[in-house]
Chains A and B, each alone.
Chain A
Amino acid sequence: MATLTYRDALNQALREEMQRDPNVFLMGEEVGVYQGAYKVSRGLLEEFGPQRIVDTPIAELGFAGIGVGAAMAGLRPVIEFMTWNFAVLALDQIVNSAAKILYESGGQVPIPIVFRGPNGAALQLAAQHSQAWESWLAHIPGLKVVAPATPADAKGLLKSAIRDNNPVIVLEGEMLYNIKGEVPEGEHIVPIGRAEVKRPGSDVTLICHSKTVAVSLRAAEQLAEHEGASAEVLDLRSLRPLDEAAILESVARTNRAVVVEEGWPQSGIGAQVVDVIQREAFDQLDAPVLRVTQADVPMPYNKQLERLAKPSAERVVAAARRVLYLD
């Protein structure tokens, strides 16, 4: 199995899917000549030509709308946003067109489109460019939302997203593009809607996705080392649909949970996970479920403040200690 970066795993998925299906094309800012702001589309213009690797003006609403139209006409567009912070401008096309057309056409017009790009904070990009949008997007019926944390999941989920006949949001991460991991070659598919235990444990479940998976794995190591507590790390991978069965199975084993996410606390993904747990696993709980989120403020630019505002392994450990009644 080859070791690839997250960006190259996405590149591999795009290339393989474009080779497999001539209806697949990639469109977005700087995806062609510049080969992607984060080099995800490296080499694709050369291989597939400007008809299938389409550079656009800085007009998110416009090219998202072209994508939806292309999908209506039977193509399978992949729309890249340079960051999801810019995609706010395209939300009307995503929410009001892509997510609604199958429903409003009485099931006649499927919209097989992928909207992808980096989500959440990187380093010192300040309040407007450091936002995690998953709870906004997962809120919408008609959309599927995935947030891979590893190169293998990035490849497998992007392939699933491209093949899906519904609009799928793929949330990547600027801080994830460089991470490396083993990626199966060729036909590697990760089904949408399946969480994965990234580290088995017995005392508390750390439920996470995307960048917070690495945070949770570090927290699990610290808990094992300093507290002798065995934490299970459950990577949601898909946020809509949510793998409720995997959440409940893990909580049934550990009886305690902490939900970790990059977004703000109010109405976050963690709130949804906690709802599932309290509703379906009430009798399995030995402690209230706690959440670790970004601080409930616009992301500070100051480096130290930014570090404190983000979910960290230390904060996950502190929350785990509280649900384990170690404090």
Chain B
Amino acid sequence: MATNVYMEALSPTMEEGRVAKWHKRDGDAVKTGETLAEVETDKAVMDLVARADGVLRQVAVAEGQTVPVGSVVAVIAAPGENVSAPSATPPPGPAGKGKRETGNAAVATAPAPVTVTALSAPPTDATRVKASPLARRMAKETGVDLKLVTGSGPGGRVVKKDLERAPTTAPAATFPVSRFPFPDRPGAPYDDVPLTQIRKTIAKRLATSLGPIPHFFLTTEVDMERASEARDALNKQLGDRGKVSFNDIVIKATALALGTHRACNAWFQEDHIRYWNEVHIGMAVAVEDGLITPVIRSADLKSLGEIGREAKDLAEKARYRRLQPNEYTGATFSVSNLGMFDIDQFTAVINPPEAGIIAVGSIVQKPVVLDGQVTARRRVRLTMSCDHRVIDGATGAAFLQTLKQMLENPLAMLL
């Protein structure tokens, strides 16, 4: 019996996916769990795997084409089985799912539509994930979306080891590094470039932030002289075992300050506020054509060396778009840094449901009056964006004050 290959929801927010590359061609034998195609989701490039053994047939979606989640993109047939063509349109989904826009510029490049014939096999629920009860429990406890995990059990069942397997594989260097989206059309008055998945998500997410969330902003200037000395000393100590950056120090200090200002370490949840007991810091990373915030979990409990190594690793994965969903979800507070672009100060947009974000400017030498003397000191401007539904002015200010004190006296972090 033929098994439909659906565009699966490969990230928690994915509504449609772009087939970046087919690994299997029409007529290729495939086995359960094998990668059929690479799919660009709103967040990352993920593998679409076979859910049955057989022969790949009726590949209905070309590379580069975007289709909604739930669409049949191909069929896995038993060898020699004759199957009718699937359509690239979604199967009749559950009622009330709402109409989806399927037409966009990218879809327009799709090949001519194939004949729509009903498949003999009733479409299975593409959102149902096969997972062992244990895997379900583990996923719930760790906040992993099972839809995003490739199952190694029979029929693609997700089992314990799939969740334990840390994504330690080095990022594939084959990912095209420069994919600047503008087509080469000199002389044209303008270029229409279809939104990539990540741009669409950024647009959607940020529009749910600055609009509906009542932001307010607090700025403070922090003396970084002693933090600089501490950093130099630490890096000398670390030698070739890694480097500690100013950003790592800010992340660590922010995490520690949140420990004593729990009111700022919270999620707004419509009818309640969730105050977190753990501190997970989202770290905004610029990637080609967008940004993403990988999460340093329990940053308050980690050493600066650990934070440094983890931040470097996550940033690298982010750039290759190889972050796993559990690596970019679940932050309780975020830090965004544009210091390297010589930005003195800026306001960052809150990443809901978090209630705050710290924007870090560049560290610059300034004349400062100290003990009645004008001296040159390295200074940085921190701006905190607060969700007023969770954090009030004085609450945010008190947190920022603690953060400033920690950065100005890094030894306080040891307390």
Q: Which of A199-253 contact B (CB under 8 A)?
A: none
Report chain B residues within 8 Å CB of A283.
Answer: 133-134, 136-137
Q: Chain A: how many interface residues by the 8 Å CB criterion?
A: 8
Judge whether A34 is part of the interface by a CB distance below 8 angstroms. Answer: no
How big is chain B's contact interface, by range?
10 to 19
Whether the Cβ atoms of A284 and B153 lie closer than 8 Å is no
Judge whether A140 is part of the interface by a CB distance below 8 angstroms. Answer: no
0/1 interface trace, chain A 275-296, chain B, CB 8 Å (1 if under): 0000000111111000000000
Complex Cα distance A287/B154, Å?
10
Q: Which of B140-181 contact A (CB under 8 A)?
A: 152-154, 159-160
Judge whether B127 is part of the interface by a CB distance below 8 angstroms. Answer: no
- A282: nearest residue on chain B (CB-CB)? B133
Nearest-neighbour CB distance to chain B for A266, whole angstroms, equals 25
A-B contact pairs, 21 of them (CB 8 A): A255-B134, A255-B160, A282-B133, A283-B133, A283-B134, A284-B133, A284-B134, A284-B137, A285-B132, A285-B133, A286-B132, A286-B134, A286-B135, A286-B153, A286-B159, A286-B160, A287-B132, A287-B153, A287-B159, A325-B153, A325-B159
The 6 closest A-B pairs by CB, nearest first: A283-B137, A286-B132, A286-B134, A286-B159, A286-B160, A282-B133
Nearest-neighbour CB distance to chain A for B100, whole angstroms, equals 35
Complex Cα distance A294/B134, Å?
30
Report chain A residues within 8 Å CB of B154.
Answer: 325
Complex Cα distance A285/B132, Å?
6
- A285: nearest residue on chain B (CB-CB)? B133
Report chain B residues within 8 Å CB of A285.
Answer: 132-134
Question: What's the dominant secondary structure at chain B's contact region?
Answer: helix
- B158: nearest residue on chain A (CB-CB)? A286
Complex Cα distance A284/B159, Å?
11
- A322: nearest residue on chain B (CB-CB)? B154
Q: Which of A109-144 contact B (CB under 8 A)?
A: none
Question: What's the dominant secondary structure at chain A's contact region?
Answer: loop
Measured CB to CB, the residues of B under 8 A from A are 132-137, 152-154, 159-160
Nearest-neighbour CB distance to chain A for B72, whole angstroms, equals 28
- B137: nearest residue on chain A (CB-CB)? A283
Complex Cα distance A286/B164, Å?
13
Nearest-neighbour CB distance to chain B for A6, whole angstroms, equals 38
Report chain B residues within 8 Å CB of A282.
Answer: 133
0/1 interface trace, chain A 282-322, chain B, CB 8 Å (1 if under): 11111100000000000000000000000000000000000
Report chain A residues within 8 Å CB of B152.
Answer: 325
15 additional contacts, CB 8 Å, given A286-B132, A286-B134, A325-B154?
A255-B134, A283-B133, A283-B134, A283-B136, A284-B134, A285-B133, A285-B134, A286-B135, A286-B153, A286-B160, A287-B132, A287-B153, A325-B152, A325-B153, A325-B159
- Of residues B135, B153, B159, which shows the largest number of chain A Cβ atoms within 10 Å of its Cβ? B159
- A325: nearest residue on chain B (CB-CB)? B153
- Of residues B133, B154, B160, which shows the largest number of chain A Cβ atoms within 10 Å of its Cβ? B133
Report chain A residues within 8 Å CB of B134.
Answer: 255, 283-286
- A287: nearest residue on chain B (CB-CB)? B132
Nearest-neighbour CB distance to chain B for A123, whole angstroms, equals 37
- Of residues B132, B135, B159, which shows the largest number of chain A Cβ atoms within 10 Å of its Cβ? B132
Report chain B residues within 8 Å CB of A255.
Answer: 132, 134, 160
- B161: nearest residue on chain A (CB-CB)? A286
Complex Cα distance A241/B136, Å?
32
Complex Cα distance A255/B137, Å?
12
Report chain B residues within 8 Å CB of A287.
Answer: 132, 153, 159
Nearest-neighbour CB distance to chain B for A64, whole angstroms, equals 45
Complex Cα distance A192/B160, Å?
35
Report chain A residues within 8 Å CB of B137.
Answer: 283-284
Complex Cα distance A282/B133, Å?
6
Complex Cα distance A287/B153, Å?
9
Nearest-neighbour CB distance to chain A for B155, whole angstroms, equals 10
Complex Cα distance A286/B133, Å?
6
Nearest-neighbour CB distance to chain B for A276, whole angstroms, equals 15
Complex Cα distance A282/B160, Å?
14
- B140: nearest residue on chain A (CB-CB)? A283
Q: Which of A21-61 contact B (CB under 8 A)?
A: none
Complex Cα distance A325/B158, Å?
11
Complex Cα distance A2/B132, Å?
47
Report chain A residues within 8 Å CB of B159.
Answer: 286-287, 325
Complex Cα distance A325/B33, Å?
13
- A255: nearest residue on chain B (CB-CB)? B134
Nearest-neighbour CB distance to chain B for A287, whole angstroms, equals 6
Report chain B residues within 8 Å CB of A284.
Answer: 133-134, 137
- Of residues A255, A282, A283, A286, which shows the largest number of chain B Cβ atoms within 10 Å of its Cβ? A286
Complex Cα distance A303/B137, Å?
47
Nearest-neighbour CB distance to chain B for A36, whole angstroms, equals 49
Nearest-neighbour CB distance to chain B for A181, whole angstroms, equals 36
- A278: nearest residue on chain B (CB-CB)? B133
- B160: nearest residue on chain A (CB-CB)? A286
Report chain B residues within 8 Å CB of A325.
Answer: 152-154, 159
Nearest-neighbour CB distance to chain B for A142, whole angstroms, equals 35
- Of residues B134, B136, B159, B160, which shows the largest number of chain A Cβ atoms within 10 Å of its Cβ? B134
Complex Cα distance A325/B133, Å?
15
